[in-house]
Amino acid sequence: MDDVMLVDSGIQILVDNLGIAETERFFNMLNRERFDYTKWHGVLSEGRSVREIHEAAAKRWEQNQKNEATESSSSEEPFDDTK
């Protein structure tokens, strides 16, 4: 995989999982802050197995999905075709 394909794949994964607005926000945060991925990854994985990291990420993803479903259902107004 060349660099362009890698970037395209990475962006698509972010968009698929976060949506366009959150992906944009993510990139803005990276550009705004001096982000050291190697240091972050070391802190993230410190003392944890790959399985533990995966389980924590999966749990967080599921919680985000539930939160998004709750937010979208509570913000929608019922359809009223009598107006």
User: In sequence order, what E strands does the chain have?
Assistant: none
Q: pLDDT digits over 11-54, tens only? A: 999 999 999 999 998 888 877 767 677 777 777 777 888 788 78
Residue 70 pLDDT? 78
pTM given for the model: 0.42
Residue 79 pLDDT? 45
- Produce one character per residue of 13-41: b if its CB has 16 or more CB atoms within 10 Å, e if not: ebeeeeeeeebeeeeeeeeeeeeeeeeee
